[in-house]
Every structure is written in C-alpha cells, then in structure tokens.
Amino acid sequence: MSFPNLSAIAVRERSITLFFLILSVLAGVIAFTSMGRAEDPAFTVRAMSVQAIWPGATTQQLQDQVVDKLEKSIQEVEYVYRLDTTIRPGFASIIIEFQEYSPAEMVDELFYEVRKRMIDEQRTLPAGVIGPIVLDDFNDVYFSLIAVTGGPTESALPMRELTRETERIRDRLQRVPGVHKALVLAERAERVYVEFDPAGLVNLGVNPQDIFAAIQQQNEVTPAGRIETRGPRLYIRVDSVLENPEELAQVPIPTANGVVPLGDVATIRRGYEDPPSYFVRSRGDDALLLGVVMQAGFNGQELGANLAEFIAAETQQIPAGVQLEVLTNQSDAINKAVGLFQIKFLMAVAVVMLVSIIAIGFRAGLIVGLAVPLTLGITFLVMLLMGINLDRITLGALILSLGLLVDDAIISVEMMLVKIHEGWESTKAAAHAWTVTAAPMLFGTLVTIAGFFPIGFAQSGVGEYAGNIFWVTGIALIVSWLVAVIFVPYLGVRLIGNSKPSRGGHDDGEGAYNSRLYQRLRRTVQWCVVHRKKVVLGTVGLLVLSGVGMATLVQKQFFPSSDRTEVLVSVYMPQGTAIAETDAVVRRLESFINQQEQVKSLASYVGGGPPRFFISLAPEPQDPAFAKVVAVMEDQVSRDALMAALEQEVAAGQYPEARVRVYRLLYGPPVNWPITFRILGPDMDQLRDIGHQVRDLMAVHPNTHNSHLEWDEKTPIYQLDIDHSALQLQGLTPTLLADQLQLLLEGAPISAMYEDIRSVSITVRGREAGQALTPQRFKSLEVLNNRGEKVSLAQLATLQIAYEEPVIRRYNRDNYLNVIADIRGAQPNTVTAELWDEMAEIRENLPVEYRIEIGGSVEQSSRGEGSLQKLQPVMVALMLIFIMLQMRSFSGTFMVFATAPLGLIGAVLALLVFNQPFGFVALLGLTGLAGILMRNTLILTQQVSDNLKDGMETSGAVVEAAVQRARPVILTALAAMLAFVPLTQDSFWGPLAYVLIGGVGVGTVITLLFVPALYALWYRIRE
C-alpha cells in the first residue's frame, strides 16, 4: 500500500490547505509569545555536600575521627562518582558528586540515602562534633540577586534594622508573578555578648562558671504543669525566658558579698558574629542579598519586567537610606538572546528570499521565503506542547535549523519549476514533486536528525543541558519536510500557476539545463567521472590531511567563554589568613574598580563565593582566606577594558600579599581553573615536593600564567606543652584549661535569646577577646584554678610555635594537591595535552602510591564527550537504517555513508583560516554537516535512478543528475552559508557557524563533483 500523495491532496483541497496554513501561522505566533524563556535550560545538579564542625580539632583529628567515617559510609551509596573533601581546623566539607548517568528521578532518593546514613553515623562521632549537616540545594540558580544596603558606612542603617526591612521586602517579593523563591542571603548571625574582666571577677569572688549557670537557669523553657478543670485545660507558664538584653542584665549573679545583677559585673551588648565568617558589600557598603529563583517554565523576560516594576515601587516606600540595587539579572541575557534570534531570523529570511529570487525568480523565491516563518511557527507550537522553553540551547538550535530547513522547500519549488517549464500543468507538477523528491527528502532529513541522536539521549549533565538540540532540530527539520510537501506545492500552484518562469529562473532561452553555465558544469562533472580515480584519491587525501590538521593544528576546547559582561576577581590569601586581612585587600580592589567607567554594579563576597547566579558558576565553600569581587559592566568592550586594567594592576604588584585572579564566566560544566593536575598520595610533604616539580614545568609554558599549588605553606600555631604536675596542683585539667582559654580569647556560646523567629546566641567572653596577641602577651594571660585564684599561664605550660597543615584535601579518600594555572593565547585542552607530555618523566619517577591525574576543563570535557561516544554506534545504526530504506541496496547504502566524514575538509579549513577552536558546539556542527552531505548524496543518487528509469545511459545519467541537482544544492548552500554569517559573532555558537560555513561550501563541491566520481567508481560505470 503506497503512502497517499500529500502534495496532490494539498493542491486539490485548497481551502483546507489554506485554513491550516493560516491556523499554523496564528498558532505559531501565539506559541512564540507564550513560551517560557530562560537564560539556560534547567538540568539536575547531581551534587550535594556534607559538613561537620568540631571546635578545637586539628585537620588531622577531623580527618581521622570524623571525615574518614563519613566518607566510607557515603561511598556505599549507589551512583557515587567522587568525593571531594576539604578539611580545615574545626571544619570539614565533603562535596558528593553522583554519576552523570544516574537517573534524574532518582537524585532525590540518593540525597535521602546520604542524609539517612549521616544520621546513623552521628552517634559514632566524638563528643562535641556538630553535624553532619547535609546541604542538597545546589540546583538553585538565582535569576536575580538584589543588594539591600543601609547607606554609607558612617551613616548606615543598623544591620539589625536593615535585616528586618529586608525580610519585609522579601515577603512582598515572594508575591511577584514568576517568583518561585525569594530568599534573604548573606545575613550576619546576630549575637548578644556578655563581656567580663577576668581580674574584676576574681576580686568579686565570681567564677565564670557561675555566670554560665545563672544565665542557663534563668533562660530555660521548662514545663510547669497543667490544671484539669470542668472547662478548658489550664497550662501553667513560668516567665523565665530572656527576651532582650535588658532582661539579661538583670540576671542575679552570686558574689562573695551577696547577689548582684549581671550588668554590674559584665558588659552586655548586641553585636554580630565576630569575626564574621562571610559577608557581602555592594559598592563598598555592607549589604544583604535577596535571591530570586524563577518558576519553572516562566517567561524570563516577563519576570525581568515584573522585578523592575517591583523595585521601582519598593524604592518609593522603603525607609530613607535603604537602597536596592540589582547585582545580576538573567533577563538582560534573555532579552539579548531573544533579540539576537529575532534579528538573525529576519536576516535569514531576507537572505533566503534574496538568493532564491535571484536564482529562481521573484514568485518562486517568495515561496521559499514564506516557508521559513511557516516552518518556525509550527515548530514553536510543537515546542510549546512539549514544554520546551526558549533558552540558550533551543535558540541556538533554531538558528542552526534556519540554515537547514530551506533545503526541502527549494527542492520542491525547483522540481515544480522544471516540470512547468517542460509544459506540465502546475497541479500535476506539484504532485510529481512529491513522487520524485518526498521519499529521499524525508530519509535525508531523518539521517540529518540521527546525527544529533547522541546529544539528545546522552546520560550526562551535558546531555541534559544540551539535549534539546536534538529535539528542536528534529522538530524543525520534520516540520520543514511537511511544509515542503504540503504548503509549498499549494503556494506554488497559487503564486506560480502555469506561467513560465521569469528571467532569472530556468528560462534563459536555451532550455532548462542547456545554458552556458550548465554546459560548463556538465563538462566539469564529465571530467570528474572520466578521471574518477584521481578525484576520489585526491578527495581522500584532502580528508586525511584534514584529519591531521584537526589533530595537530586546530585548537581544542570543550565550551567557550561567556559573552556576559561580568568581571570576576578572586582573591586568594595564604591559608590561615584572618578574614579582616582578606577584606583589606578587597577594599583596595573595590576602590580601584569604582574609579573605572561603565560599572553597572559592584559586589564583594568576603569569606566565600557569591550565590550561584550563573549555571556554570562553581559554588565555593566558605574560607576566611578567600574572597570574590563581581563587577557587572555595561558591555563587552568595557568588560575587557576593566579586565586589562585589573591585570595590569596585579602585574604591577599592587596586591603583593594575595594571589589575585581576574577572569570571566565560562559556558559548560563548572570548572574553577582551566589547567588542573591532581597529585594524589598519602604524605602531604611528598605531595608538595611533586607539586613544585609540576608547577615549575607549567610556569615555563608560553601559554600558562599564574601557575601555583592550590595550597602550599603550613600555618603557624601556638603549641602549649603542659606541665601536668603543675596543672594538677591547681586542680585543673587540660580540658578545663582549654575551656578558659577559649572563653578569654574567643568566647563561648552558653544559651540563646529568642526574638520573633530568631534564636540569638548569648556568648560569654573576656573583654579583650578577638584582639591580637603577641607571644609575650599570651604568656602573661591568667586563668583561674579550682579555688578561684589567678594563675599565670606561664606557670602551667611552655609556649612554642609549631606548624600544621592549614587544609587537607581528599579525593575519593586519597589525599591530593591541585597544581593549577590560567591560560593565555591557547585553549585548555591543547595546553593540557602539551603539559601532560612534558611531565612524562615526572610521572615515571613518582614514588609508589603516588599518581598524577588530569583535572580541570579536560576532565569535564572527557566526561561529556564520553557520554556522547557511547551512543555513536546507535547513531551510525540509525543512519544506515534510513539510508538502506531509501537506497534498498548494501552497496548504495555504504557509498552514501562513506560521504559522511568529508565535511571535515571544509570544517578544518574554516577553523584554521578564522582561528577558531574545535569543541562541543563545533562537534555539533560537524555532526549536522555529515547529515547534510549524506542527504545531498541520497537525493543525487535518487536522481540518477530516475534518469536511468527515463532511459538515459548510465554515465550520462550520473552526469545529468549532478547538473539537475546543481541549482538547488548551490542555492541551499548559499542560503545556509549566508544565514550562518551573523552567528559567527556569537561567542557560544560561533565555532559551529564557522564549521557549517566551511563545510557547506566545500560540501557543495563534493556533492556536485566528488559524488558523481565516487558513484561511477563504486558501481564501475564505463566511461
């Protein structure tokens, strides 16, 4: 049973066809305006973290007594890929990353399994350990970050009032349409400090333990019973909870002379965590952040407008001095991307129409031009029904499709024109176009779509992120085929009718294929067929040279740099540096950046990195020796100017105490440093020695800079060698001594004050806590013995300065050290490969149990590419199936498939000429190119078969097939190449555009000259 001729039906039932044409256009417009818009597609972050706090513990103690137990338990969870552990004195963080092929629907279950195991492990940990604390909210990418400030520091609104006002703004922000979550971020932990003079307490006969006990007893929530009555049950309440510092000051403290209020023996004041662990500034002013998470599937452009309206309204009603500033906003990127698509869409339509009109006449060219928006309209409708949003990936796929979807329309129109020129009636010509071209066009389309199969079904983060390339491109190409066989014939009958083509079309007075241009082409094709061996061998030679050029000359990358306008400045201080010292460097950076022009926003994140405002931004754990400054510029020119100015400042030695890194955002999986070598082994000192060798090798490479060990120096500590006999005589123990020192130097939380929804820690400490101490002053400290008498610390212990590891990093339970670097003038994959070869001698001489692994961009790209390579056999099988269904012969199938890699010739040429790297997006272009070449070969071989059926001799049938296919092939190639030109300026899709421009250009020559020669050689056609 043959498939019904859709073209004949379309031109016969014209009213129905017109109805569906109009309906498709209207539905497409509605769908385009209704679709969700986002900067990037949503995908599952298969990572979580577990933290543990053990105040006073060394890194080694944490590793042995806490971390090792937790890691062993976590590794038993299914799909765990790696554990990346950071251990600092008193604090440990384990980043858990699951396999990329773990099912997205199972991720929550895996998180639950980890959480349950951590609860089970909690009782096995030493006393005093806080946690394990499980964090699994890595999926949130903030659509917008809004800074809330209280004005300049000297006249700023108190942080407590600013926090309350920010919460009120947050509550109103949560009601804005499109907002899924609105969170207050970077809130400073509030404290109530009880500060005392140790000497004064001794004179009063007060022991600090008395203060602890009095506050705790006064501030306990305890049941006081209830009374059962014939009416309601009556609960008895004892008003014993402290609600403010004034009540705390009245807590009675027993002394040698009676009872006195706490306020008489200690100073009570409100404050904040001191020193702070993490804080944010906006343009130099202390700030809180409002983080906005968009509802799934919502229109990001609409949410951006809603937020702008909200901020404008809030500015009119918030208290004087409070200011709102947008730090990051995805709607800017979305507006830019959608606007760019619309411009490129109009340019593509104009190019296609112009080329078509010149080649085949005004009316025929108009039909081809109308086919483009009609195809996209139906594509938008299908995308809306499938829940596919407009984002970076889908917009790129649509732009890619613009260069591919005109082919079917051109083939249909061209075939109609040929038959009309031969005197056929237009409806018959339309039906004939279906008979001759529908099947090869369909199978050619399916072959092209099959090329994108791996990215659509790859079980990895890359597949989940970019998988819609397959679906959107597939939808667009299938729809373009339907438009070509249904609506194009209808439009051809209505617009062309039975009239002969105008000049510029086929009719130039010499017949359809007998013009001088066609005669020259015919002679060229005949020469190629006669000299088939030379042509085939020459083409194969070019393919081999292209392969060598791709392997040796073309730069490699995974994902390109972003075109966003943020400038990121990371500040790395020596491990163990106080946060105040880190902040001092940040303030100097802020001052310099504020002097530059075109700075839209400036935010500093001290003690950690910013919240995740960009999908590829790797979250950084809190560290007092680290800070990040994010400056958003007006445009890319000002961004590059600021980066150059900052790099010049750094090179001039303006920040000698820190390692300052200036960079911009990258697309693709999160990568902190592009060049990373991971050295693993048991001994930390040995890791350093190996790391120094690797660093020295990296430092002399011409394309690396800022080569260094991720951590190097040890941190000095005060080591107390206790005289246990003296300590025992004073009635003390090492634990009691440590408690007193903690109280004097830093303070200890002993209770909490409950205010509205907050629990404010009550911290007792000496009045000089937090102040810098010299070794001499430290020795003069006095502690209390069990009789309440002062004893000099020097009588109890000898003070020595020792050194310990400031941080321990573990990778799947092995100690490791990263050697890292930035790059200039090259791509990460290329530089990494060169360095890997150069360090062969180092690797060969490594001690037993030590090894070096590649990390950074190369590690991430290999994971993503590996997931694609697994599906390439399926892709090849699908292509062979579709080709076989059309060719119906083994020989023909393999001949068509043999043309797939030939696109490499033009692709490599374009990449080398325009100095473009080959990466993930360029690979997509090469895949699409293979489909285009096989599609053209399929249609050409079908034309040969038709010519043979018409009685042509074999050699002539091959030559004439190339001549007959010349115009649609050249026309499609020109339209596609010109349509891709605007895409070359896009940082993400640029390499793909160059691959397709070069590949389609050379592919046209291959289709018209090489394929006839290959056909003649393959089937052994006589000359």
The first and second tokens of residue 982, run together, are 């605007």
Among 418-427, 767-776, 799-808, 990-999, the range of highest mean pLDDT: 990-999
Among 394-398, 448-452, 492-496, 510-514, the minimum mean pLDDT is found in 510-514
Q: Which of 476, 501, 494 is nearest to 21 (CA)?
A: 494
Rounded CA-CA distance 436/445 in Å is 15
**Averaged pLDDT for residues 854-881:** 84
**Averaged pLDDT for residues 381-403:** 85
**SS3 helix, strand, coil % of the chain, rounded to 5?**
55, 20, 30
Q: Which residue has the tokens 């040995």?
A: 686
Rounded CA-CA distance 602/1015 in Å is 64
pLDDT given for residue 592 in this prediction = 92
Q: Where are the alpha helices (DSSP H) in 318-361?
A: 330-360
Q: Which residue has the tokens 């590649």?
A: 854
Confidence of residue 85 (pLDDT cuts 50, 70, 90): very high
- Its pTM stands at 0.81
Rounded CA-CA distance 121/133 in Å is 12
In this structure, what are the phi and psi dihedrals at residue 752, rounded to the nearest 5 degrees?
Answer: -145, 150
Q: Are the C-beta atoms of residues 863 and 442 closer than 8 Å to each other?
A: no
Residue 312: exposed, middle, or buried by beta-carbon count in 10 A (0-12, 13-18, 19+)? exposed
CA distances from 119 to 85, 86, 133, 491, 578 (A): 19, 21, 9, 69, 33
Rounded CA-CA distance 110/80 in Å is 9
Start-to-end Cα distance in the chain: 39
Rounded CA-CA distance 918/549 in Å is 11
- Residues facing 280 on adjacent strands: 287, 605
Q: Which of 307, 463, 316, 305 is nearest to 393 (CA)?
A: 463
The per-residue DSSP string of 71-89 comes to HHHHHTSTTEEEEEEEEET
Reduced to 3 states, what is the DSSP secondary structure of residue 278? coil
**Residue 450 contacts by C-beta under 8 Å, 6 or more apart in sequence?**
875, 878, 879, 882, 931
**CA 72, 78, 82, 83: dihedral to nearest 10 degrees?**
-40
Rounded CA-CA distance 645/631 in Å is 13
**Residue 1004 contacts by C-beta under 8 Å, 6 or more apart in sequence?**
969, 970, 973
Rounded CA-CA distance 465/616 in Å is 11
Q: Where are the alpha helices (DSSP H) in 781-871?
A: 828-838, 840-844, 856-869
The first and second tokens of residue 310, run together, are 């909200």
CA quadruple 909, 911, 915, 919: dihedral sign? negative
Convert 499-556 into a string of H (helix), E (strand) and C (coil): CCCCCCCCCCCCCCCCCHHHHHHHHHHHHHHHCHHHHHHHHHHHHHHHHHHHHHCCCE
Q: Where are the alpha helices (DSSP H) in 250-317?
A: 262-265, 300-317
pLDDT given for residue 16 in this prediction = 93
Rounded CA-CA distance 610/764 in Å is 32
Element housing 137 (H / E):
none
* Residue-wise pLDDT tens digits, 163-199: 888 889 999 999 999 899 899 888 888 888 888 877 6
Q: Which residue has the tokens 């020459």?
A: 538
Reduced to 3 states, what is the DSSP secondary structure of residue 288? strand
Q: Which of 634, 580, 632, 631 is nearest to 607 (CA)?
A: 580
The first and second tokens of residue 722, run together, are 């206790």
Rounded CA-CA distance 203/218 in Å is 24
Q: What is the DSSP letter of 187?
A: P
Q: Is the predicted pLDDT of residue 331 greater than 60, yes or no?
A: yes
CA quadruple 213, 217, 220, 223: dihedral sign? positive
pLDDT given for residue 471 in this prediction = 93
Q: Which of 349, 498, 489 is nearest to 412 (CA)?
A: 489
* Residue-wise pLDDT tens digits, 880-893: 999 998 888 888 88
Q: Is the predicted pLDDT of residue 434 greater than 70, yes or no?
A: yes
Q: Are the C-beta atoms of residues 827 and 559 closer than 8 Å to each other?
A: no
> How high does pLDDT run on average in the chain?
84
Q: Is the predicted pLDDT of residue 712 greater than 90, yes or no?
A: no
Rounded CA-CA distance 990/983 in Å is 6
The first and second tokens of residue 152, run together, are 């300049």
- Residues facing 255 on adjacent strands: 258
Reduced to 3 states, what is the DSSP secondary structure of residue 229? coil
Rounded CA-CA distance 374/377 in Å is 5
| 8-15 LR contacts (CB < 8 Å, sep 24+) | 8/427, 8/430, 8/431, 8/434, 10/430, 10/485, 10/486, 10/487, 10/489, 10/490, 11/426, 11/427, 11/430, 11/431, 11/489, 11/490, 11/493, 12/427, 14/490, 14/493, 14/494
Strand 252-255 with 267-272, pairing: unpaired
Convert 609-656 into a string of H (helix), E (strand) and C (coil): CCCCCCCCCCCCCCCCCEEEEEEEECCHHHHHHHHHHHHHHHHCCCCC
* Residue-wise pLDDT tens digits, 895-934: 888 888 888 999 999 999 888 888 778 888 888 888 888 8
Rounded CA-CA distance 504/170 in Å is 65
CA atoms within 13 A on the CB side of 93: 14
* Residue-wise pLDDT tens digits, 243-289: 788 888 888 888 767 788 888 888 888 888 888 889 999 988 889 99
Q: Are the C-beta atoms of residues 720 and 799 closer than 8 Å to each other?
A: yes
Residue 138: exposed, middle, or buried by beta-carbon count in 10 A (0-12, 13-18, 19+)? middle
What would you measure as the largest C-alpha separation in the chain, in angstroms? 125
Q: Which of 184 and 459 is assigned the larger pLDDT?
A: 184
pLDDT given for residue 499 in this prediction = 59
Q: Are the C-beta atoms of residues 24 and 377 closer than 8 Å to each other?
A: yes
Q: What is the DSSP letter of 968?
A: H
The first and second tokens of residue 979, run together, are 């349509």
Rounded CA-CA distance 464/560 in Å is 18
Q: Which of 763, 732, 756, 683 is nearest to 195 (CA)?
A: 763
* Strand blocks (E) in 190-257: 190-196, 226-227, 234-235, 252-255
Confidence of residue 777 (pLDDT cuts 50, 70, 90): low
**Residue 737 contacts by C-beta under 8 Å, 6 or more apart in sequence?**
722, 727, 783, 796, 797
Rounded CA-CA distance 274/283 in Å is 22
- Kindly list the structural domains of the chain, giving each domain's residue range(s) and its CATH number in brackets, ordered by start: 1-34+361-499 (1.20.1640.10), 45-138 (3.30.70.1430), 190-270 (3.30.2090.10)
Among 75-89, 142-156, 639-653, 688-702, the minimum mean pLDDT is found in 142-156
Q: What's the alpha-carbon Rg for the chain, to the nearest Å?
A: 36
Rounded CA-CA distance 865/918 in Å is 13
pLDDT given for residue 583 in this prediction = 92
**Averaged pLDDT for residues 833-842:** 90
pLDDT given for residue 310 in this prediction = 92
Q: Is the predicted pLDDT of residue 620 greater than 60, yes or no?
A: yes
Q: Where are the alpha helices (DSSP H) in 219-294?
A: 245-249, 262-265
Reduced to 3 states, what is the DSSP secondary structure of residue 285? strand
**Type of residue numbered 316:** Q
Rounded CA-CA distance 673/710 in Å is 10
Reduced to 3 states, what is the DSSP secondary structure of residue 419? helix
The first and second tokens of residue 118, run together, are 């951590």
